Chain A
């Protein structure tokens, strides 16, 4: 499903800072993987490359069996739109739009009709437990609710891979549990997921933990809960 092989990312000229140092791993379809590591270990760089927001300096990245690491900007955008879902730590909802409009946004870029978009957005918001709050703007929602909108939005174009970057980092522990339950629900439905986190208790709920340090995988473990 997701395969990276010998991925290198160097910032600046050759001989500059090596954020990723020949990292390789493979995530099969339907797996819920967590990536852990201290700050500056290359997590964000890895996530940017996996999210096709950035290009690796060398190495290959294949998604759904297609090599996508070195595509043009337009092609990467299309893959990002159709196959990837992002959940951000800071939610990144557009403040002047309602929850519904926020969820509709990626479908608009994918070219869905207005009616189809609205229908699916209603469905997704219901799925994340926000039925009846579709017309609220992010300012009128609690932190947990905002992240639910963010998750609904990430699912808009039925992605094959969900990338979550510290999705509970801005939430209290009780809400964090609710959000994690939501993720686990998605996983149960067969969604392939990659969760970047600091929090060992969150990572422990995944199928697999990749520990990263200095731009490389130092440990690939299966947590006890999943075992």
Chain B
């Protein structure tokens, strides 16, 4: 008996036992929905994280200023972390993707009646190279601004929310100055920062908070000025600090693999320049990235386990239905055997029926899963977009395979029935 024939018989059988078929088919459908949901979730998460790492920079290393241990006689040998260190790193390792020195200061900011204290970052044009998720109006600093220590600034505007503001965001407070930037168009205006007047040459609009991929390494100041400007006019220096002192030099090698090499060279270079004084520390994010990937994997496995349990339950349902089907058709099996059906024919017939149920359940489950993803989760559209084309055939294969696997035993039992007994069965 050919397969097409089995399919037709299978359809007729499934159709004529609607309730029974529906029950087993729903159990598979729920399992499939769960698995599809897992696929969507995991992939969405994976994509978001990949994006986040790309934006933050995979080869990132932070060189931070720190208080050196030991007496002033020893620590005085070093000027501390400076722009010159950054320049030396850049000169020694020209292949680095980014060497971005940053100086942070706190200062009073004034715009007409508005007064607030805020933190300000002095940066170089290199700052743009990572974490750039903004839409910019105006322009960013250039080398000329840096050389002349121009009295200019770039402001960050908060992005708000893409969709409805989530309930927990009620307790989310924008920084005073950020709200001011959002309320008033400051591009081209002049602000007072500390004692000086600064022209706003650019406004960076952040992405909406719920779409912001920078969940990793977020933060920073809402006011940026050229590094030299910050060093010259805004830094409050203690006596040991150099005139070109910085707080952090962010280095990005461009790839995770090159971190160890770059790190060794940078540490050797700085150790020489600082005359052995440990007034800085170098951190890279490899371990953090590793942990994050590991957590992600664990989460995926946990959700997948739930899906598998659901589909196994569905499989038991299929097994039950197949057994019931066989029990109610013992006589038919006898007739078919008498008419020349081999054991294999009988087995194929019941397996085909179960597989059909599995595929139908799979199709229903995919619809159910899509519906669930769309309506149950707040970023449904994004999650559906995160489904790859092969998730659908894979899900179908899982459901059909489960059905097949669980029907194997009942179908085998059916094929072993004694034809004489089966024919006599009432």
Binding site for B on A (CB under 8 A): 48, 51, 53-54, 73-74, 77-78, 80-82, 86, 88, 92, 94, 96-97, 105-106, 108-111, 114, 153, 157
Contacts of B331 in A (CB 8 A): 92
Which of B161-169, B334-342, B395-403 makes up part of the contact surface? B334-342
Residue picked from A80, A105, A108, A114, most chain B C-beta under 10 Å: A108
Contact partner, B339, options A48, A78, A86, A111, Cβ 8 Å:
A86
Contact partner, A153, options B13, B334, B337, B339, Cβ 8 Å:
B339
* A86 to B343 CA separation, bound complex (whole angstroms): 19
Give me 12 other A-B pairs in contact (C-beta within 8 A), A51-B338, A78-B340 excluded: A74-B343, A77-B341, A80-B338, A82-B340, A92-B335, A94-B335, A96-B16, A97-B12, A109-B339, A109-B340, A109-B341, A157-B340
> Does B2 sit at the interface, judged by CB under 8 A?
yes
* A78 to B335 CA separation, bound complex (whole angstroms): 15
Contacts of B4 in A (CB 8 A): 114
> Does B423 sit at the interface, judged by CB under 8 A?
yes
Asked whether, in the complex, the Cβ of A92 is within 8 Å of the Cβ of B423, the reply is yes
* B interface residues, how many (CB within 8 angstroms): 23
Sample of 18 A–B contacts (CB below 8 Å): A53-B337, A53-B423, A54-B420, A73-B343, A77-B341, A81-B340, A86-B338, A86-B339, A88-B423, A96-B12, A105-B339, A106-B339, A106-B340, A109-B1, A109-B336, A109-B341, A114-B4, A153-B339
Asked whether, in the complex, the Cβ of A77 is within 8 Å of the Cβ of B342, the reply is yes
* A34 to B384 CA separation, bound complex (whole angstroms): 72
Dominant secondary structure at the A interface: helix
* A82 to B340 CA separation, bound complex (whole angstroms): 8
Q: How far is the CB of A210 from chain B (nearest CB, A)?
A: 21
- A48's nearest neighbour on chain B, judged by CB, is B420
Asked whether, in the complex, the Cβ of B16 is within 8 Å of the Cβ of A77, the reply is no
> Does B160 sit at the interface, judged by CB under 8 A?
no
Q: How far is the CB of A215 from chain B (nearest CB, A)?
A: 17
Q: How far is the CB of A82 from chain B (nearest CB, A)?
A: 7
Asked whether, in the complex, the Cβ of A77 is within 8 Å of the Cβ of B340, the reply is yes
Asked whether, in the complex, the Cβ of A105 is within 8 Å of the Cβ of B420, the reply is no
Shortest 5 CB-CB distances between A and B: which pairs?
A81-B340, A109-B340, A106-B339, A92-B335, A108-B1
Q: How far is the CB of A16 from chain B (nearest CB, A)?
A: 16
Known: A48-B420, A53-B419, A92-B423. A109 touches B345 (CB 8 A): yes
* A106 to B345 CA separation, bound complex (whole angstroms): 12
> Does B5 sit at the interface, judged by CB under 8 A?
yes
Contacts of B343 in A (CB 8 A): 73-74, 77
Contacts of A80 in B (CB 8 A): 338-340
* A51 to B340 CA separation, bound complex (whole angstroms): 11
* A153 to B339 CA separation, bound complex (whole angstroms): 9
> Does B178 sit at the interface, judged by CB under 8 A?
no
Asked whether, in the complex, the Cβ of B339 is within 8 Å of the Cβ of A81, the reply is yes
| Binary CB contact string for chain B from 310 to 346 against chain A (1 if under 8 A, 0 otherwise) | 0000000000000000000001101111111111010
- A81's nearest neighbour on chain B, judged by CB, is B340
Q: How far is the CB of A163 from chain B (nearest CB, A)?
A: 10
* A97 to B335 CA separation, bound complex (whole angstroms): 13
Contact partner, B2, options A48, A82, A108, A153, Cβ 8 Å:
A108
* A88 to B419 CA separation, bound complex (whole angstroms): 14
Contacts of B13 in A (CB 8 A): 96
Q: How far is the CB of B140 from chain A (nearest CB, A)?
A: 73
Contacts of A53 in B (CB 8 A): 337-338, 419-420, 423
- A111's nearest neighbour on chain B, judged by CB, is B2
Contacts of A92 in B (CB 8 A): 331, 334-335, 338, 423
- B13's nearest neighbour on chain A, judged by CB, is A96
* A154 to B332 CA separation, bound complex (whole angstroms): 16
Known: A96-B12, A96-B16. A110 touches B338 (CB 8 A): no
Contact partner, A110, options B16, B332, B340, Cβ 8 Å:
B340
- A106's nearest neighbour on chain B, judged by CB, is B339
Contacts of A74 in B (CB 8 A): 342-343
Contacts of B335 in A (CB 8 A): 92, 94
Contacts of A96 in B (CB 8 A): 12-13, 16
Contacts of A111 in B (CB 8 A): 2
Contacts of A77 in B (CB 8 A): 337, 340-343
Contacts of B2 in A (CB 8 A): 108, 111
Contacts of A105 in B (CB 8 A): 336, 339
* A219 to B234 CA separation, bound complex (whole angstroms): 127
Contacts of A54 in B (CB 8 A): 420
Q: How far is the CB of A80 from chain B (nearest CB, A)?
A: 6
| Binary CB contact string for chain B from 362 to 392 against chain A (1 if under 8 A, 0 otherwise) | 0000000000000000000000000000000
Asked whether, in the complex, the Cβ of B340 is within 8 Å of the Cβ of A94, the reply is no
Q: How far is the CB of B7 from chain A (nearest CB, A)?
A: 12
* A97 to B331 CA separation, bound complex (whole angstroms): 15
* A88 to B332 CA separation, bound complex (whole angstroms): 13
* A111 to B341 CA separation, bound complex (whole angstroms): 11
Asked whether, in the complex, the Cβ of B337 is within 8 Å of the Cβ of A94, the reply is no
- A105's nearest neighbour on chain B, judged by CB, is B339
- B343's nearest neighbour on chain A, judged by CB, is A73
Contacts of B1 in A (CB 8 A): 108-109
- A95's nearest neighbour on chain B, judged by CB, is B332
- B416's nearest neighbour on chain A, judged by CB, is A73
Contacts of A97 in B (CB 8 A): 12
- B336's nearest neighbour on chain A, judged by CB, is A105
Q: How far is the CB of B350 from chain A (nearest CB, A)?
A: 15
Asked whether, in the complex, the Cβ of B5 is within 8 Å of the Cβ of A108, the reply is yes
- B344's nearest neighbour on chain A, judged by CB, is A74
Residue picked from B331, B339, B341, most chain A C-beta under 10 Å: B339
Residue picked from B2, B334, B337, B340, most chain A C-beta under 10 Å: B340
Contacts of A82 in B (CB 8 A): 340
- B329's nearest neighbour on chain A, judged by CB, is A94
Residue picked from A54, A77, A82, most chain B C-beta under 10 Å: A77
